[in-house]
Amino acid sequence: MKENVLLVKLIRLVMCALFTALFVVLERFLSFNVWNMRVGFAFLPLALTGTLYGPLSAALVGACGDVLGMMLFPTGPYFPGFTLTAALTGAVFGLFLRKKQALPQITAAVLINQIALSLLLQTLWISITYGASYVALLPTRLIQCLIMIPVQFVVLLLLAKRVTGLAKRMQLVA
């Protein structure tokens, strides 16, 4: 029995490390980036971690992935606000998708992440970091959100049943 608990914890640790690495790769190399806008699939490892392991693990993956990505592949100055947003993004996915991945939960997670965290909070961090006007940044950031809302929604909807079924078969869910 004790060996099973240790094995589940080890699998969880390894999976979170893999999701962290995937987050760094998707965010730093496989995203469309301009100085105040990023469109890509870096949300996917955070959503998967949140679905499989909950908000704390997903927040840690987001924070660690942001710090590692910044240390290994910097794209600008480090600012802890960006790390906070990455952690909160993972936590939101975990809070809404851990128990159930139905239409209302996916919609809430995507809208909170895109409107509250990406549009409002991330724009604030960009404004502070680069000294740009918050209001002037909002239109381009709004375009990013309008692109990412349907992308995240469709991807998460397509993956919802497959992820939980796979996790149960592999006994990854602790």
Which CATH number fits the domain that encloses residue 19?
A: 1.10.1760.20
Predicted model pTM? 0.89
Give the C-alpha separation, 81 to 95, whole Å.
Answer: 21
Residue 174: inside a domain:
no
Residue 63: inside a domain:
yes
Mean pLDDT of the chain: 90
Q: Residue 171's pLDDT band (boundaries 50, 70, 90)?
A: low
Residue 148: inside a domain:
yes
Q: How many domains does the chain have?
A: 1
- Taking only Cα atoms into account, the Rg of the chain, rounded to an integer number of angstroms, comes to 16
Give tens-digit pLDDT for 74-97.
Answer: 888 899 999 999 999 999 999 999
What one-character-per-residue DSSP string does 19-47 give? Answer: HHHHHHHHHHTSSEEETTEEESSTHHHHH
Highest mean pLDDT among 23-37, 58-72, 156-170: 58-72
Residue 100: inside a domain:
yes
Give tens-digit pLDDT for 102-123.
Answer: 899 999 999 999 999 999 999 9
Residue 159: inside a domain:
yes
Residue 60: both structure tokens together: 């840690």
Torsion (CA) 114, 116, 118, 119 in degrees, nearest 10: 100
Residue 35: inside a domain:
yes
Range of the domain at 154: 2-169
For 38, phi then psi, to 5°, come to -140, 125
